[in-house]
Structure formats: C-alpha cells, structure tokens
Amino acid sequence: MAHYAVRESPPLRGEIPISTSKNAVLPIMCGALLTGEDVRIERVPELTDVKTLCALLASCGCSVKKEGDALVLNAGALQNPQDEEDVRKMRASYYVLGPVLAREGHVELSLPGGCAIGARPMDIHLSSLEQMGATIEIKNGYVHADIKGRLKGAHITFHTASVGATCNILMAATLAEGETVIENAAKEPEIGDLIDLLTAMGAKIEGRDSSKLTIQGVDKLHGAQHKVIADRIEAGSYAIAAAITNGRLELINAQASTLRTPIEILRAMGVSVEEGKDSLLIDAKGKTLTGQDIMTDYYPGFPTDLQAQFMALMTVSEGASLVTENIWENRFMHVPELMRMGANINVHGHASAIVRGVKRLSGAPVMATDLRASFALVLAGLAAEGETVVNRVYHLDRGYEKLDEKLRAVGADIERIKEAD
Ligand code: UD1
C-alpha cells in the first residue's frame, strides 16, 4: 500500500489549478441516468470515486466513454444496478436510486456502507420517495423500491437540509407526474450545478440556490452537455497549504463566491485573500496567524469538509481556537493524529474541540480514517519539523486529483511511496 512522505517545506509559491468538484460531478453523472440520450460532462476529475461510480453506472446498463477529460454517458439501455461491490464502496452510490426508480419503476440497491464520520442515515431519501408514491422495503441489506406507473409530485419537507437527499429527490422529481416542492432543501453550490445540468436536459426547476425547490415533472428528458464547477473544498484545502507554510499561492479556477465563510476566517486569522474573477490569491508571507473559532453549518455556513484542514492550521496559530462540528457526529478522528505530531487539542464531547497553538509540530507516522482528515495531516506535515508519513492514501485518492504533483509544483516536499505488496 502506498503512503505519502511529507517533509517540512519552504513557503509554497506559485499557482495551483483547482480541479472540478468531486461532490458536484458524482450526482451529475447520475443525472445522465434520467435520459436515454448522450450526456457529455466536461473536465471530469481523475479520482477513484469517479472511477467507482463509472463502474456502478456501467452495471446499470449505462455506456461510459472517456473522450480526453470528458465523459460521455448514455443510459439508453438502463437496468437495475448489478454490481453491489461498488455500491458498498461509495456512499454517493445512493444517487442512482432516484433516477433508476423514476425511469424503471423498480430499484433494488444494496444499502451503502456506513462511513467513519457518522451514521449517515438515508431516512430522508426513502421517506421522500414514499411520499411520491413509492413502496419501500428494506430486506437483507437491500432497499427495494417500487412504483405503480410514475412517481407522483408531492410537497416534501426535509427534517435536515441533506445534500444527498436534495440531489436524489430533485432528480426523481424531474420525471414525476405533477409538481414536487422540496422545503428545507440544501443550498450547496453543487446542487445549483446539478440543477443547471437537469435544466439543460429539459427539466423545469425553480428556486436554485434557495431552500425551496419547485419541480414540474416532465415526460422525458433529453441529452445535454455540461461543465462542472470548480471544487471549493479542494480550493479551501490549498488555501490552507499557503497559510500554514507562510506562502503565497494563486488558486486558478477557485470561485470566491462559494467560499465566503472560509475566506472570512482566513482573513480574521491574518491571511491576505485577494479575490479574482476565477481565482484566489492567498498570501501569508511573513504573517503571524492567530486562532479563530469555527462552527460547521449548512451552506453558506462554514463547511464541515474544511473543518479538519482548518484545525491543522490552528494547531500552529497563536492563541486558542474553538472548533464546533455540527454536521457529523464523529468528525474529530484527525485529533489524536495531530496530537501525535505535538498539537495541543482538547476535545469536549462529540462536537467541540479547543485548539491551543504550539510553536512547532514534529513529524510522525499518522493515519487518517477519511478523506478530509487525511489532507489535514498532509497540511500539518508541511509545517512540521522532520518527516510525516501519511498512511492510507486511498482516502486522498478519492477526492484530491494529482495531489502530490500539485503540491510539488509549488515547492512542497512530498513524495508518494509505493511499497512492495
Ligand atoms: C455530502 C458530501 C459530504 C459533506 C456533506 C455535508 C457528497 C458526495 N458528500 O454528504 O462531503 O460532508 O454533504 O456537507 O456530496 N441525514 C439524515 N438523514 C438522511 C440524510 C442525511 O439525518 O437521510 C443527516 C446526516 O446524518 C448529516 C446531515 O444530514 O448529519 C447532512 O448529511 P448530507 O447532507 O446528506 O450528507 P451527504 O450528502 O451524505
């Protein structure tokens, strides 16, 4: 299994191109299941989550063609998913549920596996489909969903603004009979991106970027072409790479409008952030950074997917920072690893941690249990004395395209080491 060897690095300098968004491209690929015509998605990032989803879509009878960095998907011969392995590997596999049910009238899907960061229930997805007329049964680890005729429009109120459920029900509603209203929908930019694709396919959706979405079902959707938005979490992660090394990085393609709260926090910590039209210039040259409190929340609040990376920065910033995690119940697994590197962190219950800045971290062998926590350890390694070995790189391969190449190009001392099996 491979690992990353990260060594204390000089201030990072230069440009990092930000890839397209992992969390946008996954539901968008599943949107292609709503039509029998070609859907072409431009600039698809090379990530293992994308590969896993390609395999799952292929097992749904969808043809998957790579043309350069574009993907052309055609679900003319749609069927129920045949490959359970891929469903269990990736939580986002639930995105096939809504589209396959809407077109096929029946779906059997292995329940996606749990995930280290929390229980990740699916009750909103399933109860919403029930409200739209589906009969749902959970048997032997499978969801069995059936409808007679078409899904029916319904007025649905989510108890939590779930990103996954918003995407799933939105997709299902495009082909339902009549009007569907989703109240307390999630407003993340990735949902706006999915709405843009669905609209280009002929869907009738009102309320983009708001918590109330109104969908008028249509009989059929058609093919479309779509360019995916930039990855705001990747951009935020590299902004911290600049900050933690006292460097200066220009993040090409980054969209400031999707990173309002993290930018505010960076500025309050003492980092200069200049907003370009399609870029961000992060400058922490010669700056002494000070701790700030963060509290994760639904968009446009502080993103939970940047909590671990900010915590890494706080471990070497002056003073104390209070980190409150409100979205996932088990998202402090990077804490013991950061403490192995000399960080001073006190966790209180499941939801809050006090970080007191130390002068210096020291390299250590560390291991993370999820994608963003793993990146936090890479960040800590860039600022730590000596060498940090980050194990389980498969987490990082799920969501950071060309991570070591991008970091090395701006001066980081990072190496991917493949060990003999
Ligand atoms: C997505 C992101 C993930 C991010 C999360 C929150 C993808 C592929 N993943 O995950 O990186 O951390 O949004 O921004 O886009 N919930 C329920 N019932 C449900 C569904 C969710 O109670 O049926 C709860 C969850 O337990 C959690 C909260 O809602 O506390 C948010 O979950 P959700 O927005 O659904 O996260 P995902 O879409 O799985």
- Is the C-beta atom of 23 inside 6 A of ligand 1? yes
CA 162 to ligand 1 center in whole angstroms: 5
413 forms bridges with which residues in the sheet? 7
Question: What one-character-per-residue DSSP string does 136-154 give?
Answer: EEEETTEEEEE-SSS-B--
**pLDDT by residue (tens digit) across 71-100?**
999 999 999 988 667 666 677 888 999 999
- Is the C-beta atom of 125 inside 6 A of ligand 1? yes
Parallel/antiparallel/unpaired status of strands 13-17 and 248-252: parallel
User: Do residues 311 and 376 touch, judged by C-beta distance below 8 A?
Assistant: yes
CA 115 to ligand 1 center in whole angstroms: 11
**pLDDT by residue (tens digit) across 116-140?**
666 678 899 999 999 999 999 998 8
Task: Tell me: pLDDT of 115 over 60.
Answer: no
User: Do residues 363 and 377 touch, judged by C-beta distance below 8 A?
Assistant: no
Mean pLDDT on 317-340: 95
pTM confidence score: 0.96
User: Do residues 45 and 231 touch, judged by C-beta distance below 8 A?
Assistant: yes
- Is the C-beta atom of 129 inside 6 A of ligand 1? no
**pLDDT by residue (tens digit) across 185-231?**
999 999 999 999 999 999 999 999 999 999 999 999 999 999 999 99
Give the residue carrying structure tokens 């007191």.
Answer: 356
Q: How confident is the model at residue 309, as a pLDDT?
A: 98
**pLDDT by residue (tens digit) across 352-400?**
999 999 999 999 999 988 899 999 999 999 999 999 999 989 899 999 9
Strands (DSSP E) contained in 243-311 are 248-252, 272-275, 279-283, 294-295
Q: How confident is the model at residue 86, as a pLDDT?
A: 67
**pLDDT by residue (tens digit) across 13-38?**
999 999 999 999 999 999 999 999 99
Mean pLDDT on 335-356: 96
Task: Tell me: pLDDT of 248 over 70.
Answer: yes
User: Do residues 44 and 26 touch, judged by C-beta distance below 8 A?
Assistant: no
For the chain, give the percent of residues with pLDDT over 90: 88
Task: Tell me: pLDDT of 114 over 70.
Answer: no
Return the ligand 1 atom nearest residue 329 CA.
30
What is the overall mean pLDDT for the chain?
Answer: 95
For 287, the token pair is 């700056």
